[in-house]
Amino acid sequence: MTTPMLAGDRGLTAAEVAERVEAGAVNEAKRHTSRPLSAILRANFFTPLNAVIGVLAVIAIGFTALEEGFFEGLKQGLFAGVIIANIAIGTIQELRAKRTLDKLSLMNRSNAKVLRDGEVQEIAPNLIVRDDLVYVEPGDRIVVDGPVVESRNLEIDESLLTGEADPVAKAPGDEVRSGSFAVAGTGLFRAEQIGAESYAAKLVEEASKFTLARSELREGINRFIKLINWLIVPIALLLIVSQLADAANWRQIIVRTVAGIVPMIPEGLVLLTSVAFAVGVIRLGARHVLVQELPAIEGLARTDVLCLDKTGTLTEGGMDVDQIRPINGTDGEGVDTALAALAAADDSPNPTMQAVAAYLAENAVADPGWRVIDVMPFSSARKWSGTRFTDNGTWLLGAPDILLDHGDPVALEADMLAAQGMRVLALVTAESASTTGGVTGVKAQALVVLRQRLRETAAATLAYFKEQGVKVKIISGDSPAAVGAVAAQLGVEGAADTVDARRLPEDPEELADLLERATIFGRVKPHQKQAFVKALQSRGHTVAMTGDGVNDVLALKDADLGIAMGSGSAAARSVAQVVLLDDEFATLPHVVDEGRRVLGNIGRVSNLFLTKTVYAISLALFVAVGAITAWIMGNDPLPYPFLPIHQSLINLFTIGLPAFFLALAPTFERAKPNFVKRVLKFAIPAGICCAVPTFIVYLLSLAHDGTDSNLPQTTAGITLFCLALAALAITAKPYVWWKALLVCGCGGAFLLVLSVPVLADFYELSLPGVWNTTAAAVGVGSGVAALLFWLVVRPKHLAD
């Protein structure tokens, strides 16, 4: 790639680069696109839940082994298998997600351009050495710091550093800092602060970091765990104290107390949440979607307003010249010659100028070789570009409604063409023009009419979001008529009622009101896109923003979910949470589906785990109060009804196994707000409906069979299992064949354990007689009736 710069400096030589590499003066800013292996292992091995369960397992195994032998001790410690499962499954899935993220992030990485040996070369940012001359053009990120050596109207957007939206013109000697990006012009700067010395390692690379950003789902689960941690200690102490009356069987009391504490801990909930997110990353990776922050998967599922930038999202990146229409008898050959001169003078042509250059090449229009005084690059804020020539005056190419008076017949003709879905530019001459002082003495010479390439899948994707109740706002820097025409072709409602952003109200409340009503906006400037996002958020909307250009960065950064196109500018990709690497807008419904799968399924799984926690806490309280009451009244001690082995069996077939399948199942339900409230509304009544009948059946069986038999714990175990299975059956709705098979299979597995003597002996259960079966049936029937009333009938009644 030959350098387009005019500087005499040829950059570093290969030998000078080698010297700096040998000295370590290299931009060694590491790309943390995912957590390192050591961090993944630490996160999965050393967790508070694993520590608690591990300690309880050691206690159960040790005290059982002292009395009954090591094998019996291992049986009672089977619940610790969840630690192994947590570590293995969590680590494997996160490693798979890491590989996917690293691979996709490498695809998404933008190279830097450096001037070496007189040529501009593309290299990875980490290969920049000190004193390299870095070449930048519109859309390029600044990845190291240093002074500008040469500038051709170079303008840098430093909004990500300073918060100031206006681009800053850079002259030789001015500093550029990493974390900013070029929006207009071209330039060279010398790399002085590199690696850890620059902002790049902290600001630019952080945009692609594997991070667990703010997530309502994770925050809700963490709230549950904190609450449970506060409850476990006092309830466990109360349970221990209540069992001291039976001091002769102190070893068994400790083991049964462990059995009461273990089910209070939602040990698999955090695991399954992490697995669901990791699997989402892998599934979306297969569709060439780079998820730079894991909770972004749930972001689009919660979105109710989607702001679309027309160019690059609804239309494909390229354009084609449809026709060039000279104005008022202007010489057509002269117009072509002027356009060829403009194209030749533009060092960094945007897609529009590239389309013009391609058209001229097809028609064999050669560069006339006009001598250039000054080049004014295209800016999304100005919406025009131009060149001042030595002998041929000043020529500009840009938006007709910007360069021409509103009542100019040429501007009206341009509006008519734009209303047909064309993109129209005005080619004009001017007496004077500058990037800061404006334009004077404009005379229209021609209209350049371009065809935009609509994405084939855009109409179907927009229809999908309409069906899902997601409002779409199409915003663009093009003329309102052009944007409306494109929207009409795609079947968007309100395409005829376009809004010109140049006449938007400045009051935020009035702007928010307008955004609630209107759908199509043209002539939107970069800072206005940002204002749109903030105005919609002020009305309680969850806003997603798509874009591909440098003019979209501010809005992408402030949106609840920023979505960038893979072929877009490096700056846009760096601040977005999701990058569509193949530029396919039709992939967004898959991102929505994946987010809904995560949210819906983790909601179901949370219902199961928190139901278990509630019934475990309730049973522990009932037993503790009952035991203390019995001790006061001088009655026989009231032992906890279950051993750890019983809890392992019940939890396996009502929570552990089914929760894993439910967490990864497809679902298309729309995401609902108030995650914590919804889960508690299910878990508290479900847990109580499981605990109360179980405790009553246990008391009745103790009175009938006594403490020397294992029938009371078997009867209580059957009752609890059936009620927990009923809660699972309610949670699994809506039903498909595999869910029905899952619920029936779990029930059949428990029945098999009871029926096979070897398995029944292993789990210390017995086949119940008629009395116990009847008691369990009555308890299950009453509990299921209560479950159905509180979780199915009552919510529908309240809704009606």
Q: Which of 359, 335, 365 is nearest to 446 (CA)?
A: 335
Task: Supply the DSSP string of 648-680, one letter for each residue.
Answer: HHHHIIIIIHHHHHHHTS---PPP-S-HHHHHH
Mind listing the pLDDT tens digit for each residue in 98-118?
Answer: 676 666 565 556 788 899 988
SS3 of 466-506: HHCCCEEEEECCCCHHHHHHHHHHCCCCCCCCEEEHHHCCC
Task: Specify the DSSP element, H or E, that contains 321.
Answer: strand 315-326
**Whether pLDDT at 693 is above 90:** yes
Pairing of strands 146-157, 175-176: antiparallel
User: What is residue 104's predicted lDDT score, i.e. its pLDDT?
Assistant: 59
162-192 confidence digits (pLDDT tens): 545 567 888 898 999 887 888 778 889 999 8
Average pLDDT of the residues in 728-747: 89
Q: Which of 606, 554, 584 is nearest to 217 (CA)?
A: 606
**Both structure tokens of 35:** 């957590």
**Whether the predicted pLDDT of 698 surpasses 50:** yes
Residue 91 clears pLDDT 60, i.e. is over it: yes
* Active-site residue, from 309, 548, 583, 593: 309
Low-confidence winner among 155-164, 237-246, 519-528, 704-713 (lowest mean pLDDT): 155-164
* Ranges 183-187, 213-217, 796-800, most confident: 183-187
**Residue 710: its pLDDT value, please?**
78
Measured between alpha carbons, how far is 1 from 112 in angstroms, rounded to an integer?
13
pLDDT of res. 337: 92
Q: Phi/psi at 639 (nearest 5 deg)? A: -75, 160
Question: What are the respective helix, strand and coil percentages of the chain, to the nearest 5?
Answer: 55, 15, 25
Mean pLDDT, the chain, whole residue set: 80
Return the pLDDT at 688.
93
- In 495-558, alpha helices (H): 508-517, 526-538, 553-558
- The distance from CA 55 to its chain's CA centroid, rounded to whole angstroms, is 36
The four Cα atoms 223, 224, 226, 227 give a dihedral, to 10 degrees, of 110
Give the Cα separation of 655 and 268 in Å (integer): 9
Q: How far apart are CA 793 and CA 785, in angstroms?
A: 10
**CB within 8 A of 163, min separation 6: which ones?**
none
How confident is the model over 427-469, as pLDDT tens digits? Answer: 999 998 887 778 899 999 999 998 877 888 888 889 888 888 8
The answer, as to whether pTM is greater than 0.85, is: no
Torsion of CA 83, 85, 89, 92, to 10 degrees: 70
Instruction: Answer whether residue 798 shows pLDDT above 70.
Output: no
pLDDT by residue (tens digit) across 70-84?
777 676 666 666 667
pLDDT tens per residue, range 20-43 = 888 888 887 554 455 667 777 776
Q: Examine the residue annotation and report whether 309 is marked as an active-site residue of this protein.
A: yes
Over 90: is that where the pLDDT of 705 sits? no
Residues ≥6 apart with Cβ < 8 Å to 586: 455, 457, 458, 460, 461
Name the nearest CA neighbour of 640 among 239, 237, 250, 264.
239
Distance CA 531, CA 624 (A): 59
Q: Write out pLDDT tens, residues 45-62.
A: 776 667 777 777 777 777
585 or 253, which is more confident? 585
Number of H helices, E strands in the chain: 29, 23
